[in-house]
Amino acid sequence: MSSAYGATVAKRRLSRRLSELRVESGYTANQVCDRLNWGRGKVGRFEANVWVRPEMSDIRDLLRIYGADEEVAKELEELAALARTRAWWRDYSDVFDNEFPGFEDDAVRISTYMPLILPAPLQTPAYMEAQMRFGTRSSAWRNRAVGARLRRQEILDRGDGTAPDLVSVITEASLMYRWGSQIERRAQIGHLVEMSRRSNIELRLLRFADGPHPGMCGPINIFDFPDGEPSVAYVETDFALQEVSKPKEVEGYKEIFDQARAAALESPATTAYLKQLAESLE
């Protein structure tokens, strides 16, 4: 198992592998529950990834029923052990109500398209605070959310070879809004310039002059994982992050993202534009 896996992807893969083993063994989910004297629905919840932390005893019982060989048993027990790891974002249940930060943390490639705001991995604290100030949440929640967002950004600084590639498409519109002070706006643009120079970050800009483009209706986040683990996408609204995991739908969002990326300025031209914009604020 790749060491790049984190708890979220491990739990997801464990669910899928257990389902595959059950089907191969010829059992229905209810038959397995009956054989193990479990309540009906328990196996179905496992396979749907509707569980918090897998119990090792449950996993070993399932492996025994399915007749898993030693190699397969070792693979799934390792996945279960990793899935039981308590990740930092579990301490922010008031900020996160889904697995988004886990998938982001475990991804080897993050693709983001933001039509009206800057992507969270590239925001400065001042930008975060300004963006959240106009919501309906309390100041205490906003402080927690800023702290969580800064913690999310740390994945781009990993020095152990697991830092993901970030491919981000932003729009000229996201740079035109007035917020904070001129110094803060210039610092945010300067931060984008510096981040765009990193080897693991590709930043592209869609200008007004480029006309309408795919994806204008809403933000898209796509996470790709190691070892062939299926990708997952999230689409954003003001109220929620909606997970998209059906392969055909994920591919549709990938196609939209690729079209938006192709329509945008390439990275060097984007960096030059941002530098010019920063200078105009001086």
The arithmetic mean of pLDDT across residues 267-279, rounded, is 95
Q: What is the pLDDT of residues 262-272, one digit of tens each?
A: 999 999 999 99
Quote the CA–CA distance of 236 and 87 in Å, as a whole number.
23
Q: Quick check: 220 and 254 in contact, CB under 8 A?
A: no
Query: What beta strand segments (E) does 48-164 contain?
Result: 109-114
- Tokens for 281, please give them: 């604020």
Phi (first) and psi of residue 171, to 5 degrees: -120, 160
Mean pLDDT (the chain) is 92
Helix (H) or strand (E) holding 186: helix 182-196
Residue 237: pLDDT band with limits 50, 70, 90: confident
Which conformational region is residue 49 in: left (phi greater than 0), alpha (psi within -120 to 50 degrees), or beta? left
